Structure 1
């Protein structure tokens, strides 16, 4: 079956804009595979930038086993980060702008120098990072009921929703990224916990994986960009209004409200 990737891209843009889910792209377009799905990502990234948005980094998702189990995937996904998806810490977010969102806690890294694979090592990653920030990603799928295979979440830009960066940047030497506990609280009650070691043993290793994977598409990570390596805990549904407090022990807390 032949099809135009721009049709897939347009369908996903419309679903995002209207907050109305569609059938899985891999069902509507059965020939869609991981490589063509990434091309759909690129088409929508190019569309966003042409219409005033800005590419500010990259994300990795479903790297932790708890996340793969939760969403029925056996392989990480990845996507582009655009400035329009970033929300300020401490502000209120409308539940209505999403379809079926989940809250994740993860570290984020800001680069001081460029990175390009293949054969990038964790040492290369450490040398390239300026600082780390605690971050929230709200993931959201444009696919009905999150019934996704890898081509579906890839074409949907790694199921991105929104990103909140915390206000406590730290140098890597001030953190223990292979063993830092993280928690999610909703209305004061802990609803999920995890550890940064769940992110491929160390989130820095996850960044190396992402740089090397995206080098297959000739992508270079640039100084100043934000890199998100994936959640350290199982994502929690964001189903109702209330207050979220998301924290890494000994590092920082991110608070936001859902309307």
Structure 2
């Protein structure tokens, strides 16, 4: 089968799985030699199809950069994906569990940009200069693959395992927060289920944003003025 046909078919199958809220066998189990760049092309095709259907890209995400998250899902490198407007949920509203296969909750800082940002050789200073403000965010990650049995190409093809995003309505300027060591907790009925710190994100989420800009540059992606979330500080 021609590679372009295979990419298109994989994107369509993932779209159906997302629509039907069902899990698939991992792509890497049946596609020998599927690499990260080809998987990202599957992601791009899926995103293009969703945009053609009326959605829009509002930014990019970086996931599984913390060692604890990589260990939890059996990965050895971060993943990344597009953020689409249709996945955002208003703060304070309930999220329907039936819309997700096997969701997990992650706490993240979200960066809202005031100017474009692109690699290669992006520095922390470039990210700081481009940032208008940051917001607290919750990302609900979800995989269209059975039992989260994923390798890096699987999660890349599946748009970085993105499920939904909740943005908090309390913007802060970078100089007003210390993202080098900001703590977060996930609680339920007063019980702490998980906690972490932004120091786990390459030492500082600013560095993670610079890494993402550089990683996506060879793939033809340049950040515009948009919302982007960094890797989780807690799950």
Q: TM-score, normalised by structure 1?
A: 0.88
Secondary structure at the counterpart of residue 28 of structure 2: helix
Measure, in 1, the Cα distance between the counterparts of 2:84 and 2:31. 26
Pairing 1:102-113 to 2, within 5 Å after superposition: 102-113=104-115
Measure, in 2, the Cα distance between the counterparts of 1:10 and 1:171. 40
Pick from 30, 39, 42 the counterpart of residue 40 of structure 1. 42
Secondary structure at the counterpart of residue 66 of structure 1: helix
Where in structure 1 do 4 or more consecutive aligned residues deviate above 4 Å? none
Measure, in 2, the Cα distance between the counterparts of 1:127 and 1:86. 26
Contact kept? 1:195, 1:232, Cα under 8 Å? yes
Pick from 3, 14, 17 the counterpart of residue 16 of structure 2. 14
Superposition deviation, residue 2 in structure 1 = 5.2
Secondary structure at the counterpart of residue 9 of structure 2: helix
Does residue 73 of structure 2 align to residue 71 of structure 1?
yes
Pick from 159, 165, 168 the counterpart of residue 166 of structure 1. 168
Pick from 84, 95, 98 the counterpart of residue 96 of structure 1. 98
Residue number in structure 2 paired with 1:116: 118
Contact kept? 1:78, 1:158, Cα under 8 Å? yes
Superposition deviation, residue 31 in structure 1 = 3.0
Measure, in 2, the Cα distance between the counterparts of 1:25 and 1:74. 18
Does residue 25 of structure 2 align to residue 23 of structure 1?
yes
Superposition deviation, residue 22 in structure 1 = 0.3
Measure, in 2, the Cα distance between the counterparts of 1:194 and 1:49. 34
Measure, in 2, the Cα distance between the counterparts of 1:168 and 1:183. 17
Contact kept? 1:2, 1:31, Cα under 8 Å? no
Secondary structure at the counterpart of residue 166 of structure 2: strand
Residue number in structure 1 paired with 2:131: 129
Contact kept? 1:25, 1:152, Cα under 8 Å? yes
* Structure with more of its chain in strand, by fraction: 1
Deviation digits for residues 194-222 of structure 1 (CA, Å, limit 9, x no counterpart) = 11101110000000000000001111100
Cα distance, 1:108–1:59 mapped onto 2, change above 3 Å: same
Contact kept? 1:196, 1:232, Cα under 8 Å? yes
Measure, in 2, the Cα distance between the counterparts of 1:150 and 1:11. 18
Structure 1: give runs of 5+ residues left out of the alignment: 236-259
Measure, in 2, the Cα distance between the counterparts of 1:127 and 1:74. 30
Superposition deviation, residue 28 in structure 1 = 2.2
Residue number in structure 2 paired with 1:57: 59
Pick from 142, 145, 169 the counterpart of residue 143 of structure 1. 145
Measure, in 2, the Cα distance between the counterparts of 1:38 and 1:200. 22
Measure, in 2, the Cα distance between the counterparts of 1:166 and 1:215. 29
